[in-house]
Amino acid sequence: MGEALFDCLLPGSGSPSFTPGGGPANVARTIARHGVPVTLATGVGDDPLGERLLRFLRDDGVDLGFSWRSRLPTTLALATLDDGVADYRFYLEGTALDDPVGHDRVNDAAHAGDVLVTGGLALALDTLATSVVEVLRACAASLRIVDLNVRPSAVASPERYRERLHEAIAHADIVKASDDDLRWLEPDVTVAEALAHLATSGPAAVIMSQGAGPVLVSVHGRVVELPVAPVRVVDTVGAGDALTGTVAATFAYHGRRTVDDTEFVLAAVRDGIEVARETCTRRGADPPRRSVPTSTWT
């Protein structure tokens, strides 16, 4: 549940390019490229960019049965690249993602699958975020994954945004965050303290990425450091989404709705790290096609 949009990528030199993106859309594409059925609930404009976006998602095997078409324009993000790392500015107000009809479609999608994934702009837009938090609260029978993907440039009230993120965290089973996400979410404490706080705030597992550094995974209070092997980076666009999508695909493929096996979680994250690494070797959010390991926890 969340945004599908077009990224306008502005490199340090050369011409801008338009590519389909949005964290939840990238997660859905990663899941589909693992061969796992996935449905995306998002808003898409009734315009040429929207048509291209829908075609792009369908070509990857993403079901769009719970998405909504809007007379409002397709949402856009302006991404500037610095050494392969993207900094985003969003054009949200009055776009398809902000269409009030999204409230009903998100609620319709709530009980459609065993694994529910959300985050990013879905928790930044007031109307949509209210619906998403309600769904997280109501869907305790599903595995609920929240990828924070913090977007402070997209909100008018940082204080309200932090409150909403904490509401979502409290109703999540797994939370994925970057170290930068945690620095923004809890600016008065260290990243390690923020990770420990999240681990006692509701979720059974917290996954924290640190760019090229090791990924920290807290499962029921036990923290494990997973190394990330060096890779030649083209850009990092979609890398975190690839990690999240791989973890979601692994849980869905194996029919797991609970976080009760630490080794299973760690194995899923290890595979997610490899998918994210490969994504970094490609331009834009272009996760590889891989099958889910059949015995990922052994």
Domains parsed from the chain with CATH numbers:
23-38+103-280 (3.40.1190.20)
Max Cα-Cα span within the chain: 49
Q: What is the DSSP string of 84-152?
A: TEEEEEEE-TTSGGG-TTHHHHHHHHTTS-SEEEEEGGGGTSHHHHHHHHHHHHH-TTSEEEEE----G
- What tokens were used for 117? 């994934």
Average pLDDT, stretch 153-157? 91
pLDDT in tens, 43-95: 999 999 999 999 999 999 999 999 999 999 999 988 776 765 667 789 888 99
The residue among 141 and 146 whose pLDDT is bigger is 146
- Min mean pLDDT across 45-59, 73-87, 114-128, 196-210 is at 73-87
Residue with the larger pLDDT of the pair 13 and 148: 148
Neighbours of 188 (CB within 10 A): 6
Q: Using alpha carbons only, how large is the chain's radius of gyration in Å?
A: 17
State whether residue 67 is helix, strand or coil: coil
Among 108, 97, 37, residue whose Cα is nearest residue 73: 97
pLDDT above 60 for 239:
yes
